Structure 1
Amino acid sequence: MAFATLHCVDELQQAIENEQTDALIVIGHFAHIENTQLSEAIRAAQGTDQRVGKETLLISANGVPGNRMVVAPTGPLNRDYDDVRQVFDAAHKAAKIAQDAGARHPVILLNGVNVEDERYQQAFLAAYLGFCQALYQPLEAREHHGDDEIEPTRDVTLVGALDAEWAMAIEAGKRVARDLAGTEPERMAPPRFAEYCRNAFAHTAVKVTVIDDFQQLEHEYPLAAAVGRASVSVERHRPCVIRLEYKGSQPERQVMFAGKGIVYDTGGADLKVGGHMAGMSRDKGGAAAVAGFVKTVAELEPAHLHVIAEIGAVRNSIGSDAFVADEIITGHSGKRVRIGNTDAEGRLVMADLLSHLREEAAASDLPSELYTVATLTGHAALAKGPYTALVPNGPARRQQLAQQLFDAGEVYGDPAEISWSRREDFDFVKGHTLCDDLLSSNNGPSATTARGHQFPMAFLVGVAGLDAHGIDSDKPLSYVHVDIAGSGVEGGDWQHGKPTAAPVTCLSAHYLKR
């Protein structure tokens, strides 16, 4: 798994003296140029091209690596709404220009970015992650063309104080997340998703367990098994549950994840029509992000954490054995669920995973924090735009867990917004008869349903048995539902957009920051 190796130096001159370096990328606001040597080259270029300092451009400059400089403006960084993503975006644009120009060992320098400002204290990390995001190529393309052919940039030198091991651990996790989320549905069908995880965590401290016996799935994960029922007859599409476990040597708390891994979502019997099925191979972005975060954990091996993740890798196929609306299915927790719409399948897959994790957390002496991570609702994308939606339960709210994630996301350039669960959400998912305890969903699109990304969290609380661990219980458990439907791919383009790996950076910042 190759990506640009990071080297850090204190001064630009150290990078210039390295004979391997072959381009200089200058990122920042160019109202003032801090380096005198560079200012002369940039001013000279501005004399013939007024776009220099306003757009990302390559210019010729003597005395810098390769005699080529990419000037990558961020725009002003002092307005109310400015944030570190401007550095990420500038690095993203510059990386491709430098690589296309032939650079293989570029240098990154920040200009006019005040890293003492809280908003930009992670600017160096943002520059590196933006650089790597731009140069990432999909797994299928790497397998077909070869890494060296389509990802030729092998290292980058950063002028600034950054822990390279920490930065590359985050990028390793993001790369796993992008691979798993973005790969087409046959290459990343459930058994091959599991195979990728085995390979990604080979020779690490993470234990990988795969449950793929369908009878066992029906018994232990009955809601997930129902979603995958129509796929069982096709061996390469058969569902599985992938469990990832990391045990720190001196654990202070336990973090647990349920990841939605719908490798392809046809909508099931409530078929997606009108072109809305395209891009649904990315409906595994939540599971991908969970695996990505665990990869970062594996790279850093923190002593203070136990991390347990369960991923439901399932294809929501259509066929004679497909589950349908109106079925009543008893989940792992014993709750009876009436199916409202088969296209609301992701919450069913996560329900039993979360129920298993809830049992473990309740039996553990360690403080536990639980998450579901999913590309769950169009409503989250509509309500929050390109931001991750966080929906905490009562104990998480009292702990200010969502606020802590929000704060980490702001500083590290992986932003989220908080949505609160309300009584209306819990009323919405109540069973309507004595036959059922819960309704999985209404039968309309989430994007046109009031509180369309909040009420699924209420369903998950009920179906997983977390309603017995609220603020009124003897064993309260903090839980945050994370919906990345708006933040999971660049530009909101679910068919062609590059996966962003949200919220790997945010989670890493909160739990692993160094």
Structure 2
Amino acid sequence: MAFPIPSPVSDFNHVLNSSKFDSLIIIANDFTKIANDELNTTVHALSLLDSRIGKQVVVTICDQVPGKRLILMPTGKLNRDYDDVRRYFDAAKKAVVEAKATGSINPAIYLVDAPSNSVYQNAVTVAYLGACQALWQPLEAREHLGESIEPIQNIGLVGATQASCDYVKAIAAGQYAARDLCGTEPERMAPPKFAQYCETLFANSNVSVEVISDFDEINKNYPMMATVARASMAVKRHHPRVVKLTYSPEGEINKTLLFVGKGLVYDTGGADLKVGGHMSGMSRDKGGAASVAGFVKSVSDYQAKGVKVVAYLTVVRNSIGSDCFVPDEIITTREGVRVRIGNTDAEGRLAMGDLLSEIKDLAKTEVKPEIFTVATLTGHAARAMGPYAALVENGPARNAKISRNIADNGDLWADGAEVSRSRREDYDFIQPHTLADDVLSSNNAPSAVTARGHQFPMAFLAIASGLDKHGNDSSMPIPYVHIDIAGNGVEGGDWQHGKPTAASVASLFATYIK
């Protein structure tokens, strides 16, 4: 797995005199403030001849810059209430594509007069992440055409330090892995191959990997996941996997982060079949597990101190067939909770629930545990939050301001989220209607048209896993945040063709790894 390596550049004039780089990307709101008089004069003269400068990306020949390739990319306004660091992320995405098209393999990025306020404190490293987002090509394409389809090797960052480059390099490594896992088609990344990718990703690292493949064991310990997997058992290459990742830092542990990631390698909807073209793109329904694995990769590469990370990934296919599960079935969970199935297309919460139960029990013995589920779970999250993750938290997490901290850090790293919360209506919504069951998995309408459609699944997960017994009123409160990335898991909400974004990798890393 290769991706462009960030290189610190002490000052702008050093770029102009360096043979290490072969193009220069200048990103600015005002191109008259370039920190070199001669180049400033040249760009001004160009602007008199080309009215596009300052309005759209422009590529031109310039003897004063490395490789004679100059790319000028405007940010647009930066000082309005709603402007944020994504101005630089998006600008770098466009500019680096132009640099690549010129034949550049070692571009440098220079931000002209970036605002000094805290909103833009990571602007240059965020620009690098934007470039990496644009440059990533699907795993299947790289395997078929060769790694040369991603030719850019290094990206110079003017004003960055070695420490900041090391930090953002770790984020990029995790995001790259997350894009691979999320964005790869359903046969190339069927459950066994998803597990193999993880084993390869963490080979010879400080992350231990355990893969559970025996269906009898899965059926015994994770009955809801086994229910989702039932129809897939007719096809060996679709058999489910549980992937467990553990990162244990050197030295003292001050906090333990425990994750369950939804890895639906393909979601047909099951008996509640997705129709009308809505099945396309459902190979990306493994984005939650992908982002969790990516976060672990970032932590591992950075060799973070003080934080232990445990991740359980439910890797399964929701197939249609004679043995598929159906609405009205009652499934008894690992916790002994009787779940009545409301809709088989609400499978992600089922696949995660028993792993969440297990990780909750593990949390009781860990240092300062915080639990997360990460999933492309509901259309409602995408409808309600747009291109942002939805963070739904329990009482202990709300008291600790966990979601607020993640969202605030996400704003600084172009990885935004909206804070939500769990309320009594969510628990009321899933109450049983008979004595035959203890909880409903869902209603039978699409989440996007269901009131509180992305909040009530968190209540279901809490009840099904037993986390509802670890709220503020308990003797052992455990913070829990459900992260729904259905709205920001792929670019532009295009599930079939949009590039995966590795949603939440950067915001989680920035929150917990300092």
Smaller-chain TM-score range?
A: over 0.9
State the match for 2:129 in structure 1: 129
Once the two structures are superposed, the pairs formed by residues 186-225 of structure 1 within 5 Å of their partners are 186-225=187-226
- CA distances 1:43-85 after superposition (whole Å, capped 9, x unpaired): 1221121111110111222211111211111112111111000
C-alpha separation in 2, matches of 1:305 and 1:458: 27
Q: Distance in 2 between matches of 1:136 and 1:322?
A: 36
Range moving further from structure 2, 18-27 or 341-350: 18-27
What SS class does the counterpart of residue 33 from structure 2 fall into? coil
Give the stretch that moved more between structures: 473-482 or 23-32: 23-32
Q: Which residue of 1 aligns with 2:159?
A: 160
The one-letter code sitting in structure 1 at the alignment partner of 2:425 is E
For structure 1, the residue ranges without an aligned partner over 5 or more in a row are none
CA contact (8 A) 1:254 1:368 kept: yes
Q: Which residue of 1 aligns with 2:278?
A: 276
Tell me, in whole angstroms, the C-alpha distance in 1 between the residues paired with 2:335 and 2:32.
61
* Segments ≥4 residues shifted beyond 4 Å: none
In structure 1, what is the equivalent of residue 89 of structure 2? 88
Q: Does 1:394 align with 2:392?
A: no
2:157 is paired with a residue whose SS is: strand
Question: For 1:57 and 1:215, how far apart are their aligned partners in 2?
Answer: 60
**What is the CA RMSD across the aligned residues, in angstroms?**
0.9
Assess if the C-alpha contact under 8 Å between 1:84 and 1:119 holds in 2.
yes
Q: Which of 264, 267, 278 is matched with 2:266 structurally?
A: 264
In the alignment, is residue 436 of structure 1 matched against residue 419 of structure 2? Answer: no
Letter in 1 for 2:432: G
- Between the aligned partners of 1:161 and 1:140, the Cα distance in structure 2 is 33
User: Does the 8 A contact of 1:45 with 1:59 survive in 2?
Assistant: no
User: Counterparts in 2 of 1:64-75, with a 5 A limit?
Assistant: 64-75=65-76
**Matches of 2:422 and 2:296, distance apart in 1:** 27
SS of match in other structure, 1:343: coil
SS in 2 for 1:283: helix
State percent identity of aligned pairs.
55
Q: State the SS of the aligned residue for 2:70.
A: strand
CA contact (8 A) 1:107 1:158 kept: yes
Q: Output the CA distance in 1 between the equivalents of 2:457 and 2:270.
A: 18
Aligned-pair distance for 1:31? 5.9
Equivalent residue, structure 2, for 1:349? 351
Counterparts of 2:156 and 2:16, CA distance in 1: 10
Q: State the AA in 1 paired with 2:351.
A: V
Q: Which runs of 5+ in 2 are unaligned?
A: none
Is contact 1:258–1:354 with CA below 8 Å preserved after alignment? Answer: yes
2:104 aligns to what? 103
SS in 2 for 1:257: strand
- Residue in 2 aligned with 1:237? 238
What is aligned with 1:172? 173
Q: Does 1:2 align with 2:32?
A: no
Encode CA deviations 1:254-312: one digit per residue, 9 max, x unaligned. 10000000000000011000110000000000000000000001101222011000000
Counterparts of 2:65 and 2:34 in 1: how far apart (Å)? 15
TM-score normalised over the length of structure 1: 0.98
Aligned pairs (5 A) from 1:104-503: 104-114=105-115, 116-148=116-148, 150-162=149-161, 163-249=164-250, 250-364=252-366, 366-503=367-504
Which one-letter code corresponds to 2:321 in the other structure? G
Distance 1:319 1:34 in 2: 63
Aligned equivalents of 2:69, 2:53: Cα separation in 1: 14
Whole-angstrom CA distance in 2 between matches of 1:294 and 1:495:
26
**How far did residue 17 of structure 1 move?**
2.3
Q: Aligned-pair distance for 1:18?
A: 2.2
Q: Deviations over 1:365-391 (max 9, x none)?
A: x11000000000000000000011000
TM-aligned CA deviation for residue 164 of structure 1: 1.6
Output the amino acid matched with 2:315: A
1:413, distance to aligned residue in structure 2 (A): 1.4
- In 1: Cα distance, 2:445 partner to 2:42 partner: 59
What residue identity is the alignment partner of 1:143?
E
Counterpart amino acid of 2:303? E
1:398 alignment partner AA: N
Partner of 2:29: 29
**Distance in 1 between the 2:31 and 2:152 partners?**
30
Q: How many residues align?
A: 510
CA shift for structure 1 position 16? 2.4
Q: One-letter code of the match for 1:23?
A: S
